[in-house]
A and B are shown apart, each in its own frame.
Chain A
């Protein structure tokens, strides 16, 4: 056991961890500061991994995040926290180090959902794409010239990868259980635009079916996939883009409200214990945090977006340095972007529960449009395809609880017709809030 003085400890050395640590220093904290990261790398940026890094425009190690403040921190990298003992205020790291803390910021993020071992997950050539090392190994396999790449899952990562791989001229098949890509994020009505882009790019899009299992060759490398519709796709490289689960496994036994869907916090980013009481000295931010969103009726949400990692980390750090009577609520309108098939997609708000969608500027046919999602007559989210400049005005309307559709009388406004957004029914496996492990 080491005798490091107990200071502030940030668990997780990615975007939220780094920005949180910087905010602590910028907020005037000059005591001991420690960052612990499961990966061996200094904080790096993830968005380029599924775009420029796959395309070979950027080396995986060129994604390092700029450190904007002199942190004077102690780093434990490549050394995950394995347990938290709240009564002793102590963390145990994978290498056996014990680390005392005064306050904690938990920013462990999320982990890619792997393909299950029992249906072929152990085969070589099956990749996930979450971290820098994933991107490097996938890129190396791409350079070997696969005969066909099978992408499982048409979410943002799956679609960005498909777009990149088609630009590289590789044969691509994308399988998604919904009728259109991006169905869970944007609904099939908007996702249909990307379905058309996918097909135009020369990729084979296989909607409405699933991969049952992968089969390998004699060398243990993936060779084909068997699909639920009885067909077989020959593919020697697979990207499993199945979404992510929150990195909370290490909190088992810590007595906190944590499960694969997130680590529950109060509005001030303080982590809740099993009785639902906020821990005054433990905060969470970024992908791992699940917090009551004031803009969405205090529903617990967890948001896997870059902007949230930055803002929430700064907010949590601010509250960590403030007194118990000065804990401010985190109010955030989620936002993200994607680039695929030459289209810049930007979205704000949460589409969950949307019962209507309408194009309010541009046209879906031109692939330049801005669409708004409504729920019970209120505007709850908006997405732009190559029309990002107008999005802030819609974000403001959504945050202000505007009716649906908002902002009439805009330039380039078509006759507004509302459509069914086409969201798939909630996936039971992805529901996370029920099973809480303590």
Chain B
């Protein structure tokens, strides 16, 4: 599988190779081959888009839909009341209360503008101290050990704490969120295949978090605080609910799930990349002002999310291909961000690039809502790690990866250290 001829055209097995865990550690040579045809029709009729220009055009194309989930189908029960009245209504409710990442305008725009208003820069900046305190504690906990696992010691627990603080989840309830976040993490993975047991676990976790959220929303309405959930749960200027409870729960769960593993990957990928480029780690240690550039380049060079799937609502002609109506379209963001047509020497990690227009946060109307928060979290974590870990070195390169090809990141990142300062 890894035996690749860079100049060969894409073949039928190419995208399957991308999803093959054997290629998880370095999918970039596969992407280079895919880019030979920036828009490529797979034998199954889906399209893989890997060129920067084509991705950019498509994320702003109104014919691309994110409502690609099949509506929930409840099995026939034989009871006409259930089969013809109750379940169709339930199906409709399920379909109309998808989180906004799976919705198109106008519903998407309405929900997104409400969330954006509450996800304000002021609110994000107010989390700085909390993030810094948490990072310090997590690093402090590693004192006295000759090695740390970045994932379990820092990148994994940090984002859940931050999201809980943002939403307004009481600190005492955080451990439950850590568990739910883990259980739900695979639910948004576009290439995940769940067995019956796995599906059951996800549904149970969702039911548990939904029940918890319902209570918390009620509490926020009774005693509003300066947090996101209070803001979203508050009545609008007309005195009516701005968001239905279904939408509120779906949004809160989305923020937890979409904001968790992505941030884990961002911090882990960044540290992995810096450990592979020690001169850049030294420069960051000497000058923490470099952190934003480093993070932008990581978002281009080794991003947390590699692809997302959309659906063509009509036929779209692009880069010499015509994508037919209803075809699934896989936007391979991570390949676009390494397109030599767009970036000089794209496979080189270079935080001093003048023009890093990456797809690390996706793009278009579904551009990552949490981008400012992710940037701040990563910045605080990287600066602290670069300063406090003494003589850090990779103990295992490449590290083991989690199964996901889209939400791609190391499962563990073992770092040998000479101490903590």
Contacts and interface: CB of A to CB of B under 8 A. Distances in A.
B63 A389 contact: no
A410 B63 contact: yes
A370 B63 CA distance: 14
Interface in A357-380: 361-362, 366, 368, 370
A393 B62 contact: yes
Contacts of B80: none
Contact of B63 (A362, A392, A407): A407
A368 B60 contact: no
B313 A409 contact: yes
Interface stretch (B101-109, B116-124, B294-302): B101-109
B365 A389 contact: yes
A389 B58 CA distance: 11
B346 interface: no
B400 interface: no
Interface residues of B, number: 16
Interface string A372-414: 0000000000000000011011001000000000011111110
B106 A393 contact: no
A409 B106 contact: no
Contacts of A392: 57, 60
B186 interface: no
Contacts of B109: 368, 412
B314 interface: yes
B105 A409 contact: no
A410 B62 contact: yes
B62 A411 contact: yes
B62 A390 contact: yes
Contacts of A368: 106, 109
A335 to B, nearest CB: 15
B417 to A, nearest CB: 46
Which one of A368, A392, A411, A412 has the greatest number of beta carbons of chain B within 10 Å? A411
B104 A412 contact: yes
Contacts of B365: 389
A412 B314 CA distance: 13
B364 interface: yes
Contacts of B386: none
Nearest to A362: B106
Contact of B313 (A366, A389, A396, A410): A410
Contacts of B62: 361, 370, 390, 393, 407, 410-413
Looking at B60, B62, B364, B365, which has the most chain A CB atoms within 10 Å of its CB? B62
Contact of A410 (B57, B314, B364): B314
B61 interface: yes
Given A407-B63, A410-B62, A393 B57 contact: yes
Q: Which one of A362, A410, A413 has the greatest number of beta carbons of chain B within 10 Å?
A: A410
Nearest to A361: B62
Nearest to B64: A411
B406 interface: no
B161 interface: no
A409 B63 contact: yes
A362 to B, nearest CB: 7
A412 B60 contact: no
Interface in B47-66: 57, 60-65
Contacts of B364: 389
Contacts of B65: 411
Contacts of B104: 411-412
B60 A409 contact: no
Given A409-B313, A409-B325, A393 B105 contact: no
Given A362-B106, A412-B106, A393 B60 contact: yes
Nearest to B67: A411
Contacts of A370: 62
Q: Which of B64, B109, B364 has the most CB of A within 10 A?
A: B109
A407 B61 CA distance: 9
Contacts of A366: 106
B314 A393 contact: no
Contacts of A411: 62-65, 104-105, 313
A392 B57 CA distance: 8
A300 B364 CA distance: 35
Contacts of A413: 62
A185 B210 CA distance: 51
Nearest to A391: B60
A389 B314 contact: no
A408 B105 contact: no
A409 B57 contact: no
A296 B104 CA distance: 34
Given A389-B364, A393-B62, A408 B314 contact: yes
Contacts of A390: 60-62
- 7 closest pairs, A vs B, by CB? A409-B314, A410-B62, A412-B105, A411-B104, A409-B313, A390-B62, A393-B61
21 contacts: A361-B62, A361-B105, A362-B106, A368-B106, A368-B109, A390-B60, A392-B57, A393-B60, A393-B62, A393-B63, A407-B62, A409-B63, A409-B313, A409-B325, A410-B63, A410-B314, A411-B63, A411-B104, A411-B105, A412-B105, A413-B62
Given A389-B365, A393-B60, 7 more contacts: A368-B106, A393-B57, A396-B57, A407-B63, A410-B62, A411-B104, A412-B106
